[in-house]
Amino acid sequence: MRAVVVHPPAVGVELADVPLPTRSVGEIRVRVLECGVCGTDHDIVGGKYGRAPEGASYLILGHENLGVVLEGDPAVVGFSPGDLVVATVRRGCGRCRFCFANRSDFCESGGYTERGIVGAHGFMAEQYTDVPEYLVRVDPALRDVAVLLEPLSVVEKAIFQGQRVLNRKEPTPGHPPTGSPSALVAGTGAIGMLAAFVLRVRGYEVVAIDRHDDTTPAGRLLKRIGATHVNAAAGLAVLGEQGFDLVIEATGSVSLDFGLANVLGPNGVLVLTGIPDASVPPTTVAAGALWREVVLGNRAIVGSVNANRTYFESGLRDMTVFQEKWPGALAGVISLRRPLAEVADAVLEHVGGSIKTVLEVTPPRTSAPSAG
Ligand code: BGC
């Protein structure tokens, strides 16, 4: 079968012919329809991240996925050929308490693998196999947007974690009456945009920053969902004095992360989701002032990575809410679609203002699940 292959830590990506995966007892065989391309893929192709499976000379790339069940196991109930499915990414270490509880997103040993990222083949291939535990069935009504479920799951977890920390304040007394909570989203790639969608349906007033004017697809989409777009190319001072209750960071920029800690309001929470480059040179920060504000203002800085199955499930529920509230808007997060053959361009290109590129692994005309 055709697959997008990398050789971490070597730089580069290629389309290769690899053997079809063998289906073990209890597994389901899935034909891949689409795969999203994300910053993690850029890092793997750039030789900065990723690891091939034990004993393999290559890694099949791709973790944002949508597929259709080809063949199940008669002993496995709940999945039938033609069902749309999205696979989760992380596979547990098999030895820590969180992985035993199918919550490998909180793995304590670090011995997990991630499909398409570390130690396990991914989904930029014509087929894959997996056990039902890691497959989430998707309503055909979400066919056009379901490839966004994996990044949405990461956002669902990040916002849930942030909200949990905010909730430590417990119900507020109510005099003067409490207004809508405020959120800042830093970065308008797919993670930032999906965060804006989720925060809007959770009742937040949302400001989203990037380095572009309002004419980009992201700028237009933010307006559509009632969020405010701000071009912060000249720095965070453009945000004025407002302190935010919740800040969701989605850029991986180390210097920006420090700046964002300074735009938190009292009791505010900054959730970092972008994965910084560990090799960036040391930066100077006013650490005394920063920690002072954190302590004196009950502020919190939280890291959040990956997502377990529950966040894929809440993501599906939210997708339906987005579709009802802003028909067609979610599909706008996919700013570019490319055939599998153009993977090198899709993974390497950085189109300013674009949000998400999706690779069509199975050409669209054959990708619709059969009716009935
Ligand atoms: C993926 C996560 C993964 C993380 C770290 C992200 O791009 O969406 O599932 O845990 O990278 O490898």
Digit-coded pLDDT (tens) for 237-291: 999 998 999 999 999 999 999 999 999 999 999 999 999 998 899 989 999 999 9
Q: How far, in Å, from the CA of 295 to the mean position of ligand 1?
A: 30
Confidence of residue 371 (pLDDT cuts 50, 70, 90): very low
8 Cα: distance to centroid of ligand 1 (angstroms): 16
Asked if the model's pLDDT at residue 38 lies above 60, the reply is yes
- Taking the centre of ligand 1 as the mean of its atom positions, its distance from the CA of residue 219, in whole angstroms, is 25
> Is the per-residue pLDDT at 105 higher than 50?
yes
Q: Whose CA is nearest to atom 4 of ligand 1?
A: 306
Give the residue whose CA is nearest to atom 7 of ligand 1: 40
Give the range among 45-59, 121-135, 178-192, 347-361 with minimum mean pLDDT: 347-361
Which residue has its alpha carbon closest to ligand 1 atom 2? 306
| 188 strand-pairing partners | none
Mean pLDDT of 101-121: 97
Nearest in space to 132 (alpha carbons), one of 88, 82, 101: 88
Mean pLDDT score of the chain: 94
The encoded tokens of residue 40 equal: 């993690």
Pocket of ligand 1 (CB under 6 A): 38, 40, 63, 89-90, 114, 117, 150, 154, 305-306
pTM for the structure as a whole: 0.95
Query: If you search the block for the tokens 């920063």, which residue do you land on?
Result: 290
- Span from the CA of 306 to the centroid of ligand 1 (angstroms): 5
Pairing of strands 113-115, 84-87: unpaired
- CA 285 remoteness from chain centre: 29
Percent of the chain at pLDDT above 90? 87
Ligand 1 atom 11, closest CA: 40
The full set of domains in the chain, from first to last, is 2-138+333-366 (3.90.180.10), 154-303 (3.40.50.720)
pLDDT at 173 over 80: no
Q: Which atom of ligand 1 is nearest to the CA of 40?
A: 7
Atom 1 of ligand 1: nearest residue by CA position: 306
The tens digit of pLDDT for each residue in 333-370 reads: 999 999 999 988 888 777 777 899 999 999 886 545 54
Q: How many whole angstroms from 242 Cα to the centroid of ligand 1?
A: 31
User: 149 C-alpha to center of ligand 1: Å?
Assistant: 13
pLDDT at residue 62, rounded to an integer: 98
pLDDT at 372: 37
